[in-house]
Structure 1
Amino acid sequence: MYRYFFLLLFLSQQLAAQSDTLYTLPDATVVGFRDQLPARRVAASISTLRTGELRQYPAADLLPAMNRLPGVRFEERAPGSYRISVRGSTLRSPFGVRNIKVYWNGIPLTEPGGDTPLNFLDVNNIDRVELIRGPAGSLFGAGTAGTLLLSTDTLARPATLDVSGGSFGFFRAGARVQWPSGRADDAGPHHYQLRVTHQQTEGYRDHSSLRRQTAQASARWSVSPHRNFSLHALYTRLGYDLPGGLNAEQYAADPRQARPGSAETNASINYDNLLVGLTQEWARGRWSNQTTLYGTGFYFDHPFNFDYKRETNLGVGGRTAFDYALPLRTSVLNLSLGAESQLQYRMANNFGNESGTPTELNFSDEILSTQRILFFQAQYTIDDWRFSAGLSLNDLGYRVDRTFSADGPVGITESNLRGVASPRLAALRDFGSWSLYGSISSGFSPPTLDEFRTNEGSINTALRPERGTNYEVGAKGRRGRVAYELALFYLRLTETISTYSDARGTTLFRNAGNTEQRGLEFQLDYAAGPWLDLYGSYTYHRFTYGTYARGGTDYSGNRLPGTAPHIVNLEARFRLPAGLYLTVTENYTDAIPLNDAGTVSGEAYHLLRARAGWRGTIARSELDFFLGGSNLLDERMSFGNDLNPQFGGRYYQPAPGRNWFVGVSVTP
C-alpha cells in the first residue's frame, strides 16, 4: 500500500508544478485553536468538511463524508449505531464515540461521563465539520485522539426540501427553513431557522431497522454592534434494532442474519432527547468573549439479549473563553483564558428481559458525573514564525449510589481524577504558499462511565486512566489549483484501555500496558478546472502493543486490534454540460486485526460509490435530481467489528451489499 502514498505525493508535485493562479482553491478557515486562520497557518493536523462536501454523498450520509479524511474510520455497525475512530481510538470503543471530544454549535455533545451520542444528529443538523487530529486537551480536556467541532451555518436560501429513497426500505425526507425577524436596527441581523428530518430503513440484515426524527430550532440576533446571541434547540427521537455480531461460520453462511436471540429479545436502542444551548459572543477593543450555557435531558430504553436497561438523564453545563490581543513589539500576542464545567445526573435501572419486556429488577443506580476544565493559551506571530503554548487542568468524578441489587451489595462508590495537566507546544514556519510545523501535546483519557460501570452491573474501580504524549511534524501547502497536507506522528499511550467480552457478550474493559502508535496521513486536493475536482487521501497506521501480557500470554509487539494499516480514498467530481454532474469515490481499507493475538482479521475491501444527477431551474425553483449506488462492486465487508470476543467468536457486523438510492432536492 505504500505505492498509493508515493503515487499521491508524486501527483501533488506534478500538479503543483503545472498549477497557475487563474483557478485557485478556496482556503478553509479553522477556529479550533481560538483563531480564525487558514488551515495551513495553524500548527496542527486539522481537516474541514463544508456543506457541499457533506451533501455530495449517497443520500446525505455522514459516514462516507467523514471517511474521506485521513486518519479517520467512521463505522456503522447497524443503521444508526455509529462508531468513529480517529488515529485508532476504537481500540476502546464498544459502541458510540470514545476518546474524542465533540461539540455542536459550541455546545459540548460529549457527556461528562465520556460518551458522545453522535447518532442524535442527522447530517441535516451539520453544515460544517472541523476535525483536530491528536490530543487537544490544552483547550478541550479529556481525549487523546482528537476533537470534532460540528456547526450549523446561516442558510444561503430561505428554504430547501429534500426527499430520497432506496434499497432495504430506505426513506428520508427533510426541510430547512430560514426567515428574518423583520426587525431593522443598528444592532445587526436577526434570523430564525427550523430544520426537520425523518429517516427510516428496514436495514440490510434481519432485525436492523431504524427510525429517527430530528427537529432543530435556531435563532441568532444582535443586541448591540458588539454583542450577538444564538440559541440552538435539538429534539431527537431515535430507535434502531441491534442485529448483533456473527461468528465466522454465520458470517460465511448468511451475512444478513441477526445474532440468534436478538430479534426474540427485541435487542434495540431507543432514545428521546432534548438539547438546548444559548451562546453569547462579545467583542470590544482588544477583548472578546464567547460563553455557552446548555441543558439536556434524555430517556433511554435498551432491551438487550440478556437484560433490559432504562435510564433517565439530566445534564447542565457551560463553557466560556476570553481572548485578549496584546501588542508586543512589532506583532500581537493573543491570549486565551477559559473554563468548562459539566454536571450530569442519571437514574439507571437494569431488569431481566423476557421476549423484549422488562421483568425483575436486577440493580438500580443513581449516578452523578462531574467534569471541570480550566485552560490557558498564548499564541505569538513574529515575521514568518507562529508559536503556540497551551495548558489545561482537568477534574473528573463519578459517584455511583447503588440503591438496590438483587445479588450484590448496595452503597456508594466514587472515582475521582483531580488536577490532571494537559500541555501543548507548537511552532509553525510560513514560507508563503506552504508551511512546516511541529508540536508536542499531552492528553489523558479517563475511563468513561460505561467503562467504570459496565452493562452487567460491575463497577471497575481498578480501571486506570490512559495518558499519552503525541509528537507530530507536518507540512501544508496551497498553490493555485493544488492543496495538500502531510502529517507524521508518534503517540505513546500508557495504561491503554482495551475491550473484551464475557460469555454473555457484554463488553468489558481492562488496562493493557502501553501502546506505540506511529502514523502518516496525507491528503491532496486538485481543482483540474471548471469541470473536474480530484481528491485523494492516504493513511498509514502502525499501532502496536508496547508491553502487554494477559493470562500468561505476551502480546507485546502485536498490532492493535481495530486499526487498519493502510486506508486510501480517491474521489472525482465531474461537472458536466447542461447541469449534469457525477461523483465517484473509492475507499480501500486494509485487513483489520480483530483480537490481541492477531489471529483473526476483518477482510480488506474496496468500497466504490457513485452519485449522478442534474441541477437546474424549473418554475423559478432550483432542483437537484440524483441517483446512485454504494458498494457497487458488491464486496463483503464489515463497517464495525467486535474486538476480542471472549466466547462465541462473534467478530463480524456485516455491511450492506450493493444498494441503490434516488432523490430530489428543491430550493424555492
Structure 2
Amino acid sequence: MYRVLFLLLFSAGLWAQVDTLYTLPDATVTAFRDEVAGYRVGASVSTLAERELQLIPTADLLPAMNRLPGVRFEQRAPGSYRISVRGSTLRSPFGVRNIKIYWNGIPLTEPGGDTPLNFLDVNNIDRVELIRGPAGSLYGAGTAGTLLLSTDTLSEHASVDISGGSYGFFRGGAQVQWGSANRSANPNDGHYQFRLAHQQTDGYREQSALRRQTAQFSTGWATGTNRSLQLHALYTNLYYELPGGLNAEQYAADRRQARPGSSETNASINYDNLLVGLTHDWSSGRWQNATTLYGTGFYFDHPFNFDYKRETNLGTGGRTAFDYTLPLAGSVLKISAGAESQLQMRMANNFGNETGTPTQLNFSDEILSTQYVLFTQATYDLGAWRFALGLSFSDLRYRVDRTFDAAGEPAIIESSIDPVASPRLSVLRDFGGYSLYATVSSGFSPPTLDEFRTNEGSINVSLQPERGTNYEVGAKGNLNGVQYELALFYLRLDNAISTYSDERGTQLFRNAGNTNQRGLELALSYRPTDWLNLYGSYTYHDFAYDSYERAGDDYSGNRLPGTAPHVVNLEATAALPGGFYTTITENYTDAIPLNDGNSVYGEAYHLVRGRLGWRGDLARTRLDAYIGGSNLLDQTMSFGNDLNPQFGGRYYQPAPGRNWFAGIRVGF
C-alpha cells in the first residue's frame, strides 16, 4: 500500500515549484534557553517554519501539526480544537489540556491549565517549536509537552490573501510592516507590524458554523546598545457552533446532523478576547535576561444543550529568565534561572437555557486561580558531550467563592494541591552532524480549573494531580542526505486523569489509576533532487492502564482511550522551473479505542490532501495562486471522538467528506 503511495508522491512532483526546505534536526531550537541546532538538544523537539505551516492551507494548524510524530491535532467542529501529545487526549474532552503553550513568549495557557488556542489565526503564527514529553524543569506543570508559537518580522512590506472552499468556507487576511530600514540587521529596531484576518464557514454538519476575526499589532524597538522592547497585542472575536456527539445509529444514518437539541438551544460559544504582552531583552557581558509581562481579558457567552454560561475573565502575569555563561575547563557552562507567575480572576454565572436564551440563575461563582513556577537549569558542553540538568518548583491554587446557589448552598472552596518539584537530566553525545541522547524527566499535572469545577457546577475536591516520570533515548542527524529524528520513550503516569460524561453530556473527570505509556516516534526528510522534497513520520504508541478498577470492572491492561497505536504520515512537495508546484500528504491513523473497556473503536482511515499552484513574480508583486482538496479518498471518519460517554453512546464527531479549496496570495 505505502509503496504505491510513495510512487504516486514521486510522480506528483513533475508538476511543481517550491522553496520549502526540510531540516529536521538542524533547525535552530530555542526551547531550552539555547539557540543551537536541533540535533544538539537532548530532547524530542520538532520545529515548523512558516512554509511548512502553509503547505496545505486549510486556515488552521491541523495538517501541519499532524505531520509531526506523537501529535494528534483534532477539530471536533470548526473553531473547536483539541491537541494530544503522547496520549493526552485521555483527559481532553475539549480544548487543550496538559500542554503548556506560549505565544511570542507570553503564556497563552491560563493558570487554570486550559489554553484558548482558537483565539489564534494561522495569520498570527510564523514558527512552531514543540517539546514532546515533560518539560517542567523550565515550564512548570505538564506531562505531555510544551508548544512555543511565535511571529517574526515580515519578509515583505505587505501581503493580502483570500481563499474559499466547500461548505461556505471563506478566509481573508492582510499583513503590513513598516519602520526602520535597518530591521533586517536588527529585527527589534523600530519596526511596526499589523495583521488582520477574517474566517467563516457554514460547517459540514448542522449547527457547526464559525466566524472569527483577529487583529494583531506587534512592534519592537531598541532602547540601548544591548536592550530592546517588543510589544504584541491580539484582539479576537470568535463565534462557533457546537453540533455535539452522535451515537452509532445517528452516525450511520446522517453524519451531517447535529446532536438532537443542539440547534434548538443554539449550542455555541462566543468570545471577545484581548491579550497584550511586553517583553524586555537585555545583555551585559556574560549575563542575559528576557522578561515578559502580560494582561488579558475576555467575555464568554456559551449556550449549551442543558444550561447557559456567561463568564468574564481578567488575567495577568509575567515570566523572567536570566542566563549566565561561564568558561569552565576549556568549555562553557551556561546557568539559567527564572520565575513565572500568573493570576486569573473569573466571574462565572450559570443559567437555565430555553431555546438559546438564559433563564433562571443556577449558581454564581467568583474564582481566583494563582500559579507560580521557579526554575533553574545548567547546560555544560564538554567536548563532544553535552549535559543538561534542570529543576522547577511549581504551585497552583484555586479558590471558588459560590456567592449564589439555587440549591441554597453557597460556599467557599479552596483546592488542596501540594507544591511539586520537577527535575530533568539529559546527556547527549555529538558525533559531528548526528547525535545520541538519553534523558530522564519528571512531570506534574494538577487538575485544570474545568476539571476541578465542571460545567454543571460540581466541584471535585477529590481529584488528584497526575505525576509521571519519562525515560527516553533518541538519535538525530543526517545519514547520506536523509535527515532523521528517532525517539523511544517510556512514561509511567500515576493518578492518570480520565474523562467521561453523564446522561446530560456534561464532561466529568476522575483519576484512573496508573498507566504505562511506551512509544516510538520517527521523522525523516530527504531531498533527492533540487525539485523534490520528501517527508515521512511514524508513531507507535503502546499506551495501557497498569492498574485500574472501577465499579467492579477491572480495566487493567486495556488500551488508553483516545490514542491510536499506529500513525503514518507521508508528504511530497515538488517543483519545476515553470513556477508550478504541488504538495500531496497522506495520513494513516489506526483504529482508536473510545472507552475504558475497549468495546468501541473509532475507525481507521487514510486522510489524503493535495495542493496544486503557481508561484512567481508579476511586476512588483509576488503571486501565489492555488487549488486543492482534503479527504480526497472521501473516507468516512470521526475526528475528535468523545470518550467514555456514560449514557447515549454519543462517541462520534463526524468529519467532512471530500472537500475543496482555492486561494491566492499577493505580496508587495
Given the two structures, how large is their TM-score scaled by the length of structure 1?
A: 0.96
Structure 1 range deviating more: 544-553 or 56-65: 56-65
Counterpart AA for 2:44: S
Q: How far apart, CA to CA, are the structure 1 residues paired with 2:133 and 2:575?
A: 35
Q: Is residue 554 of structure 2 the alignment partner of residue 559 of structure 1?
A: no
Find the aligned partners of 2:280 and 2:302 in 1 and give their Cα distance: 37
Structure 2 counterpart of 1:199, one-letter code: Q
CA distance in 1, matches of 2:367, 2:111: 12
The CA deviation string for residues 191-245 of structure 1, in whole angstroms up to 9 with x for no partner, is 0100000000000001100000000000010011200110000000000000000
Q: Determine helix, strand or coil for the equivalent of 1:441.
A: strand
Partner of 2:116: 117
Asked if the contact 1:343/1:371 (under 8 Å) is kept, the reply is yes
In structure 2, the partner of 1:438 is 438
Partner secondary structure for residue 415 of structure 2 = strand
Q: CA deviation at 1:597?
A: 0.2
| 1:661 to 2:661 alignment | yes
| Aligned mates of 2:304, 2:58 — CA distance in 1 | 30
Conserved 8 A contact 1:275-1:295: yes
CA distance in 2, matches of 1:55, 1:25: 16
Query: In the aligned structure 2, how far is the partner of 1:603 from the partner of 1:118?
Result: 27
Distance 2:50 2:114 in 1: 26
2:406 maps to what in 1?
A: 406
Deviation at 1:509, TM superposition (A): 0.3
Read off the aligned partner of 1:81 and give its amino acid letter: S
Q: Provide the rounded CA distance (Å) in 1 between the counterparts of 2:247 and 2:418.
A: 42
Q: Which moved more, 1:425-434 or 1:51-60?
A: 51-60
Question: SS in structure 1 opposite 2:547?
Answer: coil
CA contact (8 A) 2:22 2:533 kept: no
SS at match of 1:397: strand
One-letter code aligned to 2:376: F
Deviation at 1:182, TM superposition (A): 6.9
CA offset digits 1:359-393 (Å, max 9, x no partner): 00000000000000000000101011000000000
Q: Which amino acid aligns with 1:377?
A: Q
Shift of 1:295: 0.1
Corresponding residue for residue 20 of structure 1: none
- Deviation of 1:110 after TM superposition, in Å, equals 0.2
Corresponding position of 2:17: none
Show the counterpart of 1:492: 492
Q: Aligned ranges for residues 236-385 of structure 1 at < 5 Å?
A: 236-385=236-385
CA–CA distance in 2 between the matches of 1:599 and 1:59? 34
Residue 103 of structure 2 contacts residue 150 of structure 2 at CA under 8 Å; is this kept in 1? yes
Tell me if the contact between 1:25 and 1:480 (Cα under 8 Å) persists in the aligned partners.
no
Contact 2:447–2:465 (CA<8 Å) still a contact in 1?
yes
Indicate conservation of the 8 Å contact 2:321/2:338, yes or no.
yes
Partner of 2:467: 467
CA distance in 1, matches of 2:411, 2:552: 35
Structure 1's unaligned 5+ residue stretches are 9-22
For 1:69-88, list aligned pairs within 5 A: 69-88=68-87
* Greater CA drift, 195-204 or 175-184: 175-184
Letter in 1 for 2:156: R
Q: Which residue in 2 is equivalent to 1:17?
A: none
Report the Cα offset of residue 433 of structure 1. 1.9
Match for residue 89 of structure 1?
88
1:109 Cα deviation (Å)? 0.2
Could you tell which deviates more after superposition, 166-175 or 611-620? 611-620
SS for the counterpart of 1:546 is: strand
Q: What is the rounded CA distance, in whole Å, between the counterparts of 1:483 and 1:183 in structure 2? A: 35
Q: Which runs of 4+ in 1 moved over 6 A?
A: none
Take 2:181 and 2:428, find their aligned partners in 1: how far apart are those partners? 46
Deviations 1:17-57 (A, max 9, x none): xxxxxx99582000010000000000000000000000111
User: In structure 2, what is the Cα distance between the partners aligned to 1:639 and 1:298?
Assistant: 28
Contact 1:81 1:119 in 2 (8 A): yes
When the two chains are superposed, the root-mean-square deviation of aligned CA atoms in Å is 1.6
Aligned-pair identity in percent equals: 74
Q: Does 1:102 align with 2:69?
A: no
Q: Which is worse superposed, 246-255 or 403-412?
A: 403-412
Asked whether 1:44 is paired with 2:43, we answer yes
CA–CA distance in structure 2, aligned partners of residues 498 and 662 of structure 1: 40
Q: Deviations over 1:497-535 (max 9, x none)?
A: 001100100000000110000000000000122100000
- SS of the aligned residue for 1:90 comes to helix
Alignment of 1:181-200 (within 5 A): 181=180, 189-200=189-200
Q: Which moved more, 1:618-627 or 1:533-542?
A: 618-627
- In terms of mean alpha carbon deviation, does 60-69 or 264-273 score higher? 60-69
Unmatched runs of 5 consecutive residues or more in structure 2:
7-20
Aligned partners of 2:22 and 2:525 also within 8 Å: no
Alpha-carbon offset, residue 183 of structure 1: 9.2
Compute the displacement of 1:116 (Å). Answer: 0.2
Secondary structure of the structure 2 residue equivalent to 1:58: coil
Counterpart in the other structure of 1:583: 583
Contact 1:582 1:610 in 2 (8 A): yes
TM superposition shift of 1:480: 6.2
3-state SS of the aligned residue for 1:339? strand
8 Å CA contact 2:311–2:349 kept in 1: the answer is yes
Give the aligned partner of residue 30 of structure 2: 31
2:417 is paired with a residue of what secondary structure? Answer: strand
Cα offset for 1:419?
2.6
Shift of the 36–615 alpha-carbon distance from structure 1 to 2, 3 Å rule, reads same
Would the aligned equivalents of 1:59 and 1:164 in 2 still touch at CA under 8 Å?
no
- Confirm whether residue 529 of structure 1 aligns to residue 514 of structure 2: no
Cα distance in 1 for residues equivalent to 2:549 and 2:295: 43
1:61, CA displacement in angstroms?
2.9
Inter-partner Cα distance in structure 1 for 2:384 and 2:327: 17
Taking the aligned partners of 1:211 and 1:497, their CA distance within structure 2 comes to 33
Tell whether the 8 Å contact from 1:115 to 1:449 is kept in structure 2 after alignment: yes
**What is aligned with 2:135?**
136
- Cα deviation, residue 190, structure 1: 1.3
Amino acid at match of 1:277: G
Q: What are the Cα deviations for residues 540-575 of structure 1, in whole angstroms up to 9, with x where unaligned?
A: 000000000011000000000000000000000011
Does structure 1 conserve the Cα–Cα contact (< 8 Å) formed by 2:59 and 2:121?
no
Q: Is 1:624 the equivalent of 2:624?
A: yes
Tell me what 1:18 maps to: none
Go from structure 1 to structure 2 and tell me whether the alpha carbon gap of 1:24 and 1:136 turns closer, same or farther (over 3 Å shift): closer
